[in-house]
Each structure stands twice: as C-alpha cells, then as structure tokens.
Structure 1
C-alpha cells in the first residue's frame, strides 16, 4: 500500500512539474524552452497512453493539439498567444487567478487568494514569488501541488479539495474556449482532464463555489 501511495504521489508531482511551466513561462523569454522542445518531439498517441490520471480518449486529442501547436517551434504566434492569455496588457479573456472567478467583484487578491495564503502560512509553505503575484495563479498552484507531494503528502487532499479543484476545472474550461492557438487549447484540456482524474482517483468530494465569471 505504501509503495502504491508513493507511486501515486510521484505521478501527481510529475503532472504538476510538467504542466506548471507552460502556464508560468513565456515561451520565448522564460525558462521553459526545454519543456517546449520536449513536447514538440512527442509521439502524442504514445504519450497519451502513458499520461497519468486522464483517460486516453481525453489526453490523446489534447496532446495532439499541443504537439501540433509546436510543429514549427516557438513562433511569434505562440508567444503572442501566451502573453494575450496570461500577461496582457489589456483584457485577459480567461485570467489565470482563482479569485477572478470566485470573488463577487472578479478581482485578483480576492477571498480565494487570501484563503490560500492563510492555508500556506498554516502549513509552513513559503511563497514562491514576490508579494505582487497572487498565490492563486494556476501555474503556481500546480507547482505547489508537486511540492506538497514531496514534502507534505498528508496535506495534499486538503489542498486539492479546498483550493485547487474548487476553481481550476472551471477556469480551464474558460481557457480552452478563449485559446486560439492549439498548444494552449490542448494544454487547458489536458490539465482539466488530468485534475479531474486525480480527483476521481483520490475519491475527493469538492464543494464548488459560486462562479462570478
């Protein structure tokens, strides 16, 4: 049983480690060039059969879109799409922060952010970024999921139920609709199906908030 639990933690950590950089890093100027190159060379169907938690029927089309989106490498279209979806300037069609969806005013640093910040403080988890970056950014939260697998596995389910799974699947649906580039559309779909697969695998009951966006 302990070995199976460790294998599950390794698989969840792999998911976070693999996907988080794509939400956090500019394809051209960020630190994830190796990740983009690795995905560009994938055999999508073979990768889907090995991808954890998501059904192959969901992961295969998503991975194909991601590989297709990288067929010509890191193009200007890919870079502009990243900046349009995650950075700005201007209106973000699907902002990557949880409080935008769960706060009545649809603002960053809302109740979702403050609740996560308090949870991190209670569990001795240090901030990974400066004070100007909300903790409830999807990329940071995927990275935190991996961190908990390695350092505080007993806290993982509480984190998933109380913070990540409450809003991330909803946001990822919005992102899949907003994304025009196949890479980011596939990323949204793969991340969503994987997180829901983790929820199902762990048998987690998640109370969804009211969504204002």
Structure 2
C-alpha cells in the first residue's frame, strides 16, 4: 500500500488541478480572467512547499493581474495559440503521444493505452471540442476527480479511496509524468505573457508536489520531442 505524505493538503492539490484544467483546456476568455482576478489567483494559489518555481509563478501572475485590461485578451489568446493550439505546430504541444511516440503524431500507441486505462477505471469525457484524451489539461481534470474521491473516502473511511489512489499513482507514473515536464519546459521557454509564464511554473510545481505526496517516481521513457 502506498502512503500519502500528509504534510500537503489534498484539497489544495485538487483545487490547483481544477484551475490548471480550466486554464489550459481552451483559449482564455474575459469571463475566466475576471474570475481569476476576482478570486486573486496569484495570492490564493497554494504555497505547497514554497519552492522557487511556486514563488516565481505567483510573482508572474501578480504582475499580470496588476496590469490586466480586457484589451490585452487578444494577445493572451495569441500566446495560448502559439503555445498549445496553432495555427502551425504549437511550441509546447500538449498531447502525450507527440513526446512518447517516435512518429510524433496524435492518437498514437500511448494514447490508445491511456484510453484503455481510462476505460478500466471508468473515466470518460464529455468534451466541447474533439480532443485526444492525452491532452495535458485533461490529465488535470482526471487528477481533480481522483483526488476528490480520495478526499471523500478519507472522510468516510470508504474503501474506494484506496482504488482511486492506486489509479492516480498509475496515471502519474505511467501516463503523464514521463512527458508532461517536457511540455511545461517548452511552454516556459516560449511563453510571451506573464499569465502563461506564471501558470506553467505553478503547473511544474504542482506536478512535483503531487508526485512527492504520492511517492511517485515516473517511469523512465524515451522522449522524441
């Protein structure tokens, strides 16, 4: 049985996963940015272990919020596009198969394996846009769901928590962490706005803390990007 590092609040990890999902799954909107600003995302983001990445990420977001107005939304959308969507090849392609498959194509063997894993644990998606399931933002959504199950089970001593925890460990160890760090590294290198510079650093810190909390060591895999 894998034990949790209880020094980290699981509800904070769940909240961070949810924010990362909503921030990276699609182009930013004025409503989303208004919600982040209203809730002071930079100041209320969990400190976790108070790492340098965490501190710098929150500093970037603080700078972004301080000078934000809706006229900058176009530039923010352009930044999201060049990082994660296109036109052309995104600088930080958000799909796992691009990194794990020698051909560098979408829906490759690693995606099929992930789909089989999701089927085995009862995970499905109701997506607004057709999207390969190995998009990094969708991983954050599944992490959110599994952490919610673990938290609920801890409060009620239900056995489902052990199942959810083992599923989360496998998800991280075999399907996400072997490549997601490279995606975030490329995003940090090419981001042109403080919003995405900050968000990517916070995502890197989140993944490090989550892996440490669950005592997960990613499987070594060759990356092709």
Q: Common fold, TM-score beyond 0.5?
A: yes
TM-score, length basis structure 2 = 0.80
Residue matched to 1:62: 57
Report the RMSD for the aligned CA atoms in angstroms.
2.6
The answer to whether residue 74 in structure 2 is matched with residue 73 in structure 1 is no
Q: 1:91-130 to 2 correspondence within 5 Å?
A: 91-129=89-127
| Contact 2:18–2:141 (8 Å) recurs in 1 | yes
In 2, Cα distance between equivalents of 1:14 and 1:131: 23
TM-score by length of 1: 0.84
Q: How many residues align?
A: 206
Structure 2 unaligned spans of 5+: 150-163
Mean CA deviation greater in 133-142 or 58-67? 58-67
Kept in 2, the 8 Å contact 1:27–1:36? The answer is no
Q: Following TM superposition, by how much is the alpha carbon of 1:14 offset from its aligned partner in structure 2, in angstroms?
A: 1.3
1:166-181 matched pairs, under 5 angstroms: 166-181=178-193
For 2:38 and 2:50, how far apart are their aligned partners in 1? 22
Residues 9 and 155 (structure 1 numbering): CA distance in 2 closer, same or farther, change over 3 Å? farther
8 Å CA contact 1:25–1:32 kept in 2: the answer is: no
Q: Which runs of 5+ in 1 are unaligned?
A: none
Report if aligned partners of 2:5, 2:213 keep a CA contact under 8 Å in 1: no
The 2-side partners of 1:207 and 1:3 are apart by: 19
Question: Any idea what SS the aligned residue of 1:141 has?
Answer: helix
For 1:90, what is the secondary structure of its paired residue?
Answer: coil
| Offset, 1:140 | 0.8
SS in 2 for 1:120: helix
Q: 5 Å matches for 1:77-88?
A: 77-88=75-86
Query: 1:38–1:158: structure 2 CA closer, same or farther, 3 Å change rule?
Result: farther
In 1, Cα distance between the equivalents of 2:127 and 2:109?
A: 19
* 2:20 corresponds to: 19
